[in-house]
């Protein structure tokens, strides 16, 4: 008999242990809302692939735990990179601008233009979700409720926007580094 994917009983069994998975994610992330979001993303990942996955409940519990662990580590990496990037940007801005208000206004206009350009490269919903998540500080669950979406869809939109922002900001950082090198001559 051919495999038909995961049964509903296995999926229900996985979701029944939600608190255990959230607790594990919390031990990695030290943030309950992020832990819940990461569990939702990991469970959505398994659910979306239920037709291609095959296994019994214990095997799928291990699979979900691995998926959760990898997503937690990815979130920690993204947070670390984000913090380092913002710290470096702040340090560079302070060094370059000191008390020069004209240079500061020019740089602020450039940053605004770059972010506006990035916003134009994504759909309005994607941009709104990104701003709600990263600037507004809302959790995936809160954003899902606000826009009437699933948390999995919110996670996908945030990842899509993050990729666009990363590519735009990489170009900006390259220009900023070249300017810093010119000022240091």
Tell me which residue range forms the domain holding 2: 1-81
Whether residue 73 lies inside any domain: the answer is yes
Confidence (pTM): 0.48
Residues 45 and 112 in one domain: no
Query: Do residues 74 and 38 lie in contact, with contact meaning Cβ atoms separated by under 8 Å?
Result: no
Whether residue 40 lies inside any domain: the answer is yes
Please, is 17 exposed, middle or buried when counting C-beta atoms within 10 Å of its C-beta (0-12, 13-18, 19+)?
Answer: middle
Domains: count for the chain:
2
Residues 32 and 60 in one domain: yes
Residues 70 and 127 in one domain: no
Among 52-56, 64-68, 109-113, 140-144, name the one with the lowest average pLDDT: 109-113
Whether residue 161 lies inside any domain: the answer is yes
Whether residue 117 lies inside any domain: the answer is yes
pLDDT > 70 fraction of the chain, expressed in percent and rounded: 84
Whether residue 10 lies inside any domain: the answer is yes
- The mean pLDDT value of the chain amounts to 83
Whether residue 88 lies inside any domain: the answer is no
Q: What is the CATH number of the domain that holds 162?
A: 1.10.10.10
């Amino acid at each position: 008999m051919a495999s038909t994917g995961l049964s509903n009983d296995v999926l229900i069994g996985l979701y029944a242990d939600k608190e255990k998975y959230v607790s594990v994610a919390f031990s990695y992330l030290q943030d309950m809302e992020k832990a819940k979001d990461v569990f939702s993303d990991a469970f959505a990942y398994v659910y979306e692939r239920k037709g291609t996955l095959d296994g019994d409940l214990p095997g799928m519990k291990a699979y979900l735990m691995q998926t959760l662990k990898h997503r937690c580590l990815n979130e920690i990496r993204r947070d670390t990179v984000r913090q380092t990037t913002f710290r470096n940007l702040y340090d560079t801005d302070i060094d370059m601008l000191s008390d020069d208000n004209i240079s500061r206004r020019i740089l602020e206009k450039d940053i605004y233009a770059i972010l506006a350009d990035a916003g134009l490269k994504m759909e309005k919903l994607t941009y709104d979700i990104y701003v709600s998540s990263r600037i507004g500080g809302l959790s995936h669950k809160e954003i899902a409720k606000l826009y009437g979406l699933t948390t999995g869809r919110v996670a996908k939109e945030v990842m899509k926007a993050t990729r666009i922002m990363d590519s735009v900001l990489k170009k900006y950082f390259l220009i900023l580094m070249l300017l810093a090198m010119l000022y240091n001559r």
